Amino acid sequence: MVRVYALGVLYKGVNSATVLKAAYDLQSFSFFQRSSVQEFMVFVSKTIVERTQQSTRQSVKEGEYMLQVYVRADNLAGILISDHEYPNRVAHTLITKILDEFTAKVPASSWATGNESTVDFPVLPQYLAKYQNPREADALTKIQNDLDETKIILHDTIKAVLERGEKLDDLVAKSDSLTMHSKAFYKTARKTNSCCNF
């Protein structure tokens, strides 16, 4: 099943990365594992951001997770942690959207000194919930799915029309055969009736 586990906005400093804001969906893990899983995700997020060059996008497989990261030229980074089935294009589109909104709402002067408790950016949990189903959240994916469904319907319709055409051809052939038999019957009937005329 397609699942997004975490969304985060980080700042890539000179020596380390700092989490500015993050949201997690850890409902699929047992209650006792959630804090360990969240710590793991924070650690991996920081490590990946630190190792990613500026103005670069990356997709990194870590165990059963897929990490999508984008570090902008201004050292602001976005990260999305999902399972392997989540589409890369949708993930990077979401990261770009979140970073653009973050830039508009949080001044750049506070990025280097900020942390999760001081940064006010409450929309991450909403995006995390909305993008759990990439087909519904992303317009391009939704259009592609609609096109695929339409294509299947058109194929079925064309197939049915072709089958009907074959049936019509059979009817025309039977009609032609019936016409020839009826002409032969008419001639035979005229010959038979001509003997009976007085």
- The model scores a pTM over 0.75: no
pLDDT: is 97 or 156 the higher one? 97
Residue with tokens 């999760």: 116
Residue 143 in this model has a pLDDT that exceeds 90: no
Q: Which of 128, 142, 136 is nearest to 95 (CA)?
A: 128
Q: Do residues 67 and 45 make contact, with C-beta atoms less than 8 angstroms apart?
A: yes
- In percent, the amount of the chain with pLDDT more than 70 equals 96
**CATH class, range 4-162:** alpha beta
Average pLDDT for 126-153 = 80
Question: Partners of 66 in the beta sheet?
Answer: 61, 82
**Predicted confidence band at 105 (pLDDT cuts at 50, 70, 90)?**
very high
- Count, in order, helices (H) and strands (E) of the chain: 5, 5
Over residues 17-58, the pLDDT tens digits come to: 999 999 999 999 999 999 999 999 999 999 999 999 999 999
Residue type (1 letter), 33: Q
- In this predicted structure, what is the pLDDT of residue 173? 80
- In this predicted structure, what is the pLDDT of residue 12? 94
Question: Hey, CA dihedral for 180, 183, 189, 194, is it positive or negative?
Answer: negative
Residue 163 in this model has a pLDDT that exceeds 90: no
Please, which residues have CB within 8 angstroms of residue 157's CB and are 6 or more apart in sequence?
A: none
Over residues 47-96, the pLDDT tens digits come to: 999 999 999 999 999 888 899 999 999 999 999 999 998 888 889 999 99
Residue 197 in this model has a pLDDT that exceeds 70: no
Q: Which CA distances in Å does 140 have to 11, 30, 96, 136, 145?
A: 29, 34, 15, 10, 9
Q: Phi and psi for 81 in degrees, rounded to 5?
A: -110, 125
Q: Phi and psi for 173 in degrees, rounded to 5?
A: -65, -45
